[in-house]
A and B are shown apart, each in its own frame.
Chain A
């Protein structure tokens, strides 16, 4: 029974892995091809089926072709990283307030405020493009990293608040009260007791922010032009009159690297049980 189960389980995992990994293998081989290699049909084995070349990779780092992916890469890291960090910090504070204190302004109460946050994500992004454009123009922040960071905070903050409210609600209020009786101000109680106990929530919210921010194409495309260019836009911009498949593949591969890193780190945390059981 258990052997059969294991067999089926690993078969399913193997099957699924084929679906997931194949596109990456495809991109990996293509990134080492030249124009001849790409047009020569589906080939996978270097040296045997096609002549490998570093043209694609070199082109990304200023090695000819006039394409430079390094600056967009750094810009993307800075914009996504800053926006996620700001969202997590502000989001945790807002969520803690919404979880622990009662706000009332007429008919507006805590649940309405929480809905207000999440309702920002109900609108299709395209509706927000023009207002964002006008606002950034007014602030003279179009085509700048700071402008994009502000826009991304607006998009990521609701996610952070929404996830963190749920986590804070699951921590008994008596723990905050106990911390206060033990000599903590409400803010100290938050930092010393509540935050350490919501580490899983912070990591989950942070992951969501990083993924959403890193993957965004639409706002990066509409709100920047020449001075600032984020990775997704830069990758698409590679596609000119002749599509350099080798450069595209290489850039696609390195653009997923940070998320891959995040996934590995979180996976290690989870498997070590550091997070599991942190909350009873």
Chain B
């Protein structure tokens, strides 16, 4: 029981929007699609929903091909990034609209709408028009309408991105609760935010430049990114990549700095590689590299340092507040046991750093 998409491809006037995208989505599971803006996430959803004609590709739900069905006959509900509701209908009628279109009995409509409005916390707002609600409430209405459908497939296209930070966090946890009991539904959730993708997803689909790069559990995608692109998309700030050469007993980074060979790389053939390291695993005050601060910002609990070093520019994420003047010198420590290794020709992952958490 699953949604299977195969080889979805769309090119418009020489610009590729989807390039052979294939994936499986399981019923009762939430899949997050993570990728930067313009990675093709929205086009993917519009293609699945039937709002966007695709050059080729097959869509099957429980082995039934629905590629040729028009949008209005597909069993799909969607929540947009913008708060899209029917402006001329009140909250109750907004949520009831798709149910009425399906000719459901009035008592059923009434019951379902009230149940869903209660779930999203909008009881008492039935008579309001969408424009009389706050952004968060408007998006709850849109979600309620999508949930009330009890559709086979629920698509959420960056639903929280237009909300302010505090509300986004609050609604993210609400979403987790609401989407968790959709046992019959395939939920696909687009996001640019790695944290959101990891927190919400049973499965994470990483997209980059109109292709799917990796599909896996959050832990798999995070601990064993398939390529440099995946590693930079699923880490925020993106993973740092340093070019270097593996020698017999050490690694020589661009710029001439040598670091001792960690045990997990002992089997690696000698040669040139990309060495990846997460921003939060670099240490300030180390002796591996010397660097110059080009920019620094303090988020409150953390400090982000952007530096130029002999091995290239890097980003460091450090706990606590650290004040660094521009152009001041900072030593950087590279914990060799945290290095990822990628092929320089095709950017594919060769060795992942050992996972830090307890392995089950």
- Hey, which bits of chain A sit against chain B, CB under 8 A? 172, 174-175, 177-185, 188, 193, 196-197, 199, 277-280
Chain A residues lying within 8 Å of B49, measured Cβ to Cβ, are 177, 181
Complex alpha-carbon distance, A199 and B88, angstroms: 10
Chain A residues lying within 8 Å of B51, measured Cβ to Cβ, are 177, 180-181
Q: How far is the CB of B4 from chain A (nearest CB, A)?
A: 20
Chain B residues lying within 8 Å of A180, measured Cβ to Cβ, are 50-51, 70-72
A interface footprint on B43-80 (CB within 8 Å = 1, 0 otherwise): 00000011100000000000000000011101011101
B88 adjacent to A197 (CB under 8 Å): yes
In the complex, 12 of the A-B residue pairs with CB atoms within 8 angstroms, ordered by the A residue number, are A178-B80, A179-B97, A181-B51, A181-B71, A182-B97, A182-B101, A182-B149, A183-B101, A184-B72, A188-B72, A279-B87, A280-B130
Nearest first, the 6 closest Cβ-Cβ pairs linking A and B are A183-B101, A182-B98, A196-B88, A180-B71, A174-B84, A280-B131
A177 adjacent to B71 (CB under 8 Å): yes
Chain A residues lying within 8 Å of B80, measured Cβ to Cβ, are 174, 178
Q: How far is the CB of A85 from chain B (nearest CB, A)?
A: 22
Complex alpha-carbon distance, A194 and B86, angstroms: 9
Complex alpha-carbon distance, A175 and B72, angstroms: 13
B84 adjacent to A175 (CB under 8 Å): yes
Contact flag A178-B72 (CB < 8 Å), given A183-B102, A277-B131, A280-B130: no
B72 adjacent to A280 (CB under 8 Å): no
Given contacts A179-B86, A181-B49, 14 further A-B contacts (CB under 8 A): A175-B84, A177-B51, A177-B71, A178-B80, A178-B84, A180-B51, A181-B51, A181-B77, A182-B97, A182-B149, A277-B129, A278-B87, A278-B88, A280-B130
Task: Judge if B235 is at the interface, Cβ distance under 8 Å.
Answer: no
Q: How far is the CB of A66 from chain B (nearest CB, A)?
A: 53
Chain B residues lying within 8 Å of A174, measured Cβ to Cβ, are 80, 82, 84
Return the chain B residue nearest A197 by Cβ.
B88
Complex alpha-carbon distance, A177 and B142, angstroms: 13
With a 10 A CB-CB cut-off, give which of B76, B80, B130 has the most chain A CB atoms.
B80
